[in-house]
């Protein structure tokens, strides 16, 4: 579960490069990134079946959580459903983020054992994630347990059952970056132990909402420390309505002129969870995302203005006690999206983050008809637009190599290594190399 954003832009942007006027970095391949953010997923365990009673104890008998009929929910979201979802995603080109909670609801660590399942079942479930999920989805820890806070010295939950020691609520408030780094690193190390590499993290509920600068720094430090992630990112906030931008925030930028550039990217969701939620509520339905005729809905609004459309959901609601209500909604949403738009680009959160880091942090200077780049990060689908007179195909020069771009007659055909003539302007899509490079136009 992730909270609605209220202060996502309050972080420190850091350094920015110089750039000549009249140059626009477009979306990758001049398309709109889309993706699905899946929260509360893990191996085997139906997380919220076991989380709800812990939430209810912390919040009291009058809370919404105490009224949920969690005893009727299944203990497991089976691997057969994971495989079914992964196969559908691959066929339809769907990508995004998939959480793996490392110590789900305090039941057991996935790198050791989870009582109620055999070691063979746990090992096979992890292998399934590696084979079927990882090709199209980033793996994120969603803190350690998604319920009670773990004492890192003992490896056990703190004995306090109030919200003060629940990951979703008060514990992170006022914590230092070092404290949060240690906590995130503990979660990441469990995933590293089972061969699930990460470039990002997801916060459960309100985690980090009152320690935003510390969370951003801790995300960078933990992911760089455990996985040597070049461009760490995190998912904390969403904006489900209105005109607030949902474009990623590139934060804490430093060292652009060095061999060790640093940044962290805050990716932002653009929808509420309208698929049945973490608590198996009745789904709002498909139309809230996109109407049957493709003219209305939150996704239509965001895609039309050209910002990444990152949908948000919870694995419990996608499975919905075996009825798969949320899954059916997403199947229809994707069908409608593909019928309505011809300019979508399904991407993992790490891919969106890399593109936005390159988009904002690459220095670009005009040199005659061409462009010179100074890039802190490589980017495979870098797409740039500027005015130029073209007599022969543009060429990219980097590291002693020359790549001639191929002209296409439709901007929807832009892929790396191509260019498009748009009146008196040129749109070029190419693999941007880290460091210095040139785009020459004759």
pLDDT value of residue 8: 44
| Closest alpha carbon to 434 in 382, 370, 367, 368 | 382
- CA–CA distance from 64 to each of 55, 60, 67, 68 (Å)? 10, 9, 5, 7
Question: What confidence tens digit (pLDDT) does each residue in 174-200 have?
Answer: 999 999 999 999 999 999 999 999 999
For domain 31-354, say whether CATH 3.20.20.370 is its number.
yes
pLDDT value of residue 7: 43
pLDDT value of residue 65: 95
Q: What is the full DSSP assignment across 299-313? A: HHHHHHTT--EEEEE
CA distance 316 to 39: 9
* Environment class of 293 (CB within 10 Å of its CB; exposed 0-12, middle 13-18, buried 19+): exposed
Among all chains, which residue has been given the structure tokens 């989380």? 51
pLDDT value of residue 369: 87
DSSP 397: E
pLDDT value of residue 49: 98
Question: What confidence tens digit (pLDDT) does each residue in 55-109 have?
Answer: 999 999 999 999 999 999 999 999 999 999 999 999 999 999 999 999 999 999 9
pLDDT value of residue 5: 53
What are the two backbone dihedrals, phi and then psi, of residue 219, each rounded to the nearest 5 degrees? Answer: -60, -50
| pTM, rounded to two decimals | 0.96
pLDDT value of residue 4: 56
Count of CA atoms in the C-beta half-sphere (13 A) of 21: 0
pLDDT value of residue 3: 55
CA distance 196 to 140: 9
78 close to 135: Cβ distance less than 8 angstroms: no
pLDDT value of residue 392: 87
DSSP 104: G
Domain boundaries, the chain: 31-354, 363-440
Structure-token pair, residue 117 = 């399942």
363-440: which CATH number, 3.40.50.620, 3.20.110.20, 3.30.1490.20, 2.60.40.1180? 2.60.40.1180
CA distance 411 to 5: 34
| Closest alpha carbon to 45 in 107, 97, 129 | 107
pLDDT less than 50: residues of the chain: 1, 6-9
Bridge partners (DSSP) of residue 233 are 200, 265
| Closest alpha carbon to 207 in 126, 134, 146 | 146
Q: Is the dihedral of CA 115, 119, 121, 127 positive or negative?
A: positive
| Closest alpha carbon to 312 in 354, 284, 343, 345 | 284
């Amino acid at each position: 579960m992730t909270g609605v954003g209220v202060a996502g832009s309050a972080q420190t942007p850091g350094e920015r490069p110089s750039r000549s006027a009249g140059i626009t970095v477009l979306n990758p391949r001049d398309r709109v990134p889309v993706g699905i953010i899946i929260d509360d997923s893990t191996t085997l365990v139906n997380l919220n079946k076991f989380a709800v009673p812990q939430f209810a104890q912390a919040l009291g008998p009058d809370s919404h959580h105490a009224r949920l009929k969690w005893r009727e929910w299944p203990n497991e979201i089976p691997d057969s459903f994971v495989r079914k979802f992964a196969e559908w995603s691959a066929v339809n080109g769907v990508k995004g983020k998939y959480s793996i909670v490392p110590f789900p609801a305090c039941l057991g660590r996935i790198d050791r054992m989870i009582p109620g399942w055999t070691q063979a079942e746990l090992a096979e479930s992890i292998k399934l994630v590696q084979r079927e999920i990882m090709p199209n989805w980033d793996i994120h820890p969603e803190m350690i347990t998604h319920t009670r806070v773990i004492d890192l010295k003992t490896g056990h939950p703190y004995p306090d059952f109030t919200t003060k020691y629940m990951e979703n609520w008060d514990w992170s408030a006022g914590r230092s970056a070092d404290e949060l780094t240690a906590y995130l690193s503990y979660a990441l190390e469990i995933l590293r132990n089972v061969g699930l590499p990460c470039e990002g993290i997801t916060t459960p509920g309100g985690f980090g909402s009152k320690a935003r600068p510390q969370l951003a720094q801790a995300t960078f430090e933990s992911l760089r420390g455990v996985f040597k992630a070049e461009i760490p990112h995190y998912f904390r906030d969403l904006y489900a309505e209105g005109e607030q931008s949902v474009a990623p925030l590139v934060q804490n930028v430093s060292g652009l002129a060095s061999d060790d550039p640093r940044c962290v990217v805050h990716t932002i969701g653009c929808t509420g969870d309208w698929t049945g939620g973490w608590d198996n509520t009745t789904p709002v339905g498909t139309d809230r995302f996109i109407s049957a005729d493709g003219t209305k809905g939150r996704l239509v609004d965001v895609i039309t203005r050209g910002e990444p459309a990152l949908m948000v959901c919870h694995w419990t609601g996608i499975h919905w006690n075996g009825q798969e209500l949320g899954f059916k909604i997403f199947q229809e949403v994707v069908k409608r999206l593909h019928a309505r738009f011809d300019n979508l680009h399904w991407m993992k959160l790490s891919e969106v983050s890399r593109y936005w880091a390159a988009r904002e942090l690459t220095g670009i200077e005009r040199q005659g008809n061409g462009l010179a780049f100074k890039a802190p990060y490589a980017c495979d689908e870098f797409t740039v637009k500027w005015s130029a007179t073209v007599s022969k195909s543009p060429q990219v020069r980097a590291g002693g190599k020359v790549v001639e771009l191929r002209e296409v007659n439709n901007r929807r055909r832009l892929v790396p290594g191509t260019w498009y003539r748009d009146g008196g302007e040129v749109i070029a899509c190419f693999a941007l190399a880290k460091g210095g490079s040139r785009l020459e136009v004759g």
